[in-house]
A and B are shown apart, each in its own frame.
Chain A
Amino acid sequence: MAMEREKSAHAGALACPTCDFHTTVAEPNDAIECYRRHRSVTGHAIAWERTALDAAVETDDVETALDGLGDEYGEGVPLGVLTAALAERGVTIEETLDAIYALRMEGAIYEPRDDRVLVV
């Protein structure tokens, strides 16, 4: 699917480990929307298969990773970027989003724009 798109600028490819869903996304946060849509109709958690973003982190700790990326993204780190960077460290989108939810509920992070977060 979306073969043409792959040649142009894109954020990466996602796949579902449970069914045979594959897709590519243009913007990092499209991945988050796609994750939610797939979850809503299947209950499955899709994962990054390949990312084409420069953002890299040295850790598999979500809060530390977010803190590190925060300098580059003044308006908040897009969850798509964060999940992609952490995927390279073996952290799934589901794990990252769960950790983000927990951090938000602790008041440790905030969301200056929809689906963009920063450490407090």
Chain B
Amino acid sequence: MTRWNDGRDEIGAVSADITEETNALPARYFTDPDVHEMEKEKVFGRYWVYAGHANRIPERGDYFTRTIGGKQIIVTRDGEGDVRAFYNVCAHRGSKMLDDAPMTDPGSLGRITCPYHLWTYELDGDLASTPKSFEEATLNPDLDDESVRGLDPEANGLMEVTLDSIGPLVFVNFADDPDLTLAEQAGSMKDELEALPLEEYELARRYVSEVECNWKTFSGNYSECDHCQANHQDWVRGLELMESELEVNDYHWILHYQHREDVEDEMRIHDEHEAKFYYFWPNFTVNMYGTADGYGTYIIDPIDEGRFQLIADYYFRDADLTEEEEEFVQTSRQLQEEDFELVERQYDGLRSGALAQAQLGPNEHTVHKLHRLAQDAYEA
């Protein structure tokens, strides 16, 4: 049963069983600015969150920056060839060190130097050098140079962020002691993705859109296909929707979209005759196309409670796209725009405050999983 904000209906927690009445996350979790603040820690500060693609930083010292839940990080490749992440924050007095460099336009450096007082760090985060004024007490009449303590390189190094990968896909976790390893959070998805040659593909396109709804509103839309028949008519024409399946796992779900017999689908990165879309809690998707030799990723990045950025990246064998690939990307963009219309309209409705708790249908079990995970995160 739907619950309204009419002074009579009462909301409940998201039931574990989807057939029960209170099976959706209460509406205020989509519209409340305090929830957005809470999510920075409870969602984006505790789970494994996608940071970027290792192919973009092939050489020692290559780096890109990312902001996740308000935390700014540098993702770089150290002297050993390992990808590592550090807060973009100086160990001296906390300055932001590097300017933003998205992975579409990565930077490169030999050492990380803070522009404020020129403390310099190795690519493994250790403090490499400081200017003379940190070794001698020339300006301080109360101190002689001998009493200036030396700075241990490691103890005064950068703050590292826990990092792990699935193939070339790099994830970070901001918890001091993460509850789960990336392998545990990803489960079977890790093996499935690592069986594919993801690293052989190049980033060909990035499209970023700002959409006026809560990030979870879009996540819910991505995860179900009850809206497809009415709203993605061009796309569903090629699908056998009744043969398709939405598979739910612990922290990810997979939308298996079967093609109709007559659809030309020999071009694929994977074996199954289907498009395979992975949603990985909290805000990442990997889209294995059914009819193009490539894949895409989405980052669903909150701006505030009522807006998010969709960062859509497209990977193909070659960054120079063929005409068919160009067309494919355009179709994907068209799908996005159709969905943006839907979620902005849904959010307009949600924002009016009438709805207290929605209800989910039997084939929205993926959305139910999303809502359950959000609730678990908030309660943890």
A residues apposed to B, CB below 8 Å: 1-5, 19-21, 23, 34, 37-43
Contacts and interface: CB of A to CB of B under 8 A. Distances in A.
Contacts of B210: 1, 23, 34, 37
A43 B207 contact: no
Interface of B, helix, strand, loop or mixed by DSSP: mixed
B333 A20 contact: yes
B366 to A, nearest CB: 25
Interface residues on B, range: 20 to 34
Contacts of B102: 40-43
B309 A41 contact: yes
B209 interface: yes
Nearest to A40: B100
Given A1-B341, A2-B344, A42-B206, 5 more contacts: A5-B212, A23-B210, A40-B67, A43-B104, A43-B105
A89 B210 CA distance: 27
21 contacts: A1-B209, A1-B210, A1-B212, A1-B344, A2-B212, A3-B341, A5-B212, A19-B206, A20-B207, A21-B209, A23-B210, A38-B208, A40-B102, A41-B104, A41-B208, A41-B309, A42-B102, A42-B105, A43-B101, A43-B104, A43-B105
Most B C-beta atoms less than 10 A away, residue of A3, A20, A21, A41: A41
Nearest to B207: A19
Q: Give the dominant DSSP class at A's interface.
A: helix
Contacts of B209: 1, 21, 23
B208 A1 contact: no
Contacts of B340: 1
A4 B348 contact: yes
A3 B104 CA distance: 29
Interface string B51-69: 0000000000000010100
Nearest to A21: B208
Chain A CB within 10 A, most for which of B102, B208, B341, B344: B208
B186 interface: no
Question: What are the 7 A-B residue pairs with the smallest beta carbon separation, nearest first?
Answer: A43-B105, A40-B100, A41-B102, A23-B210, A1-B340, A41-B208, A43-B102
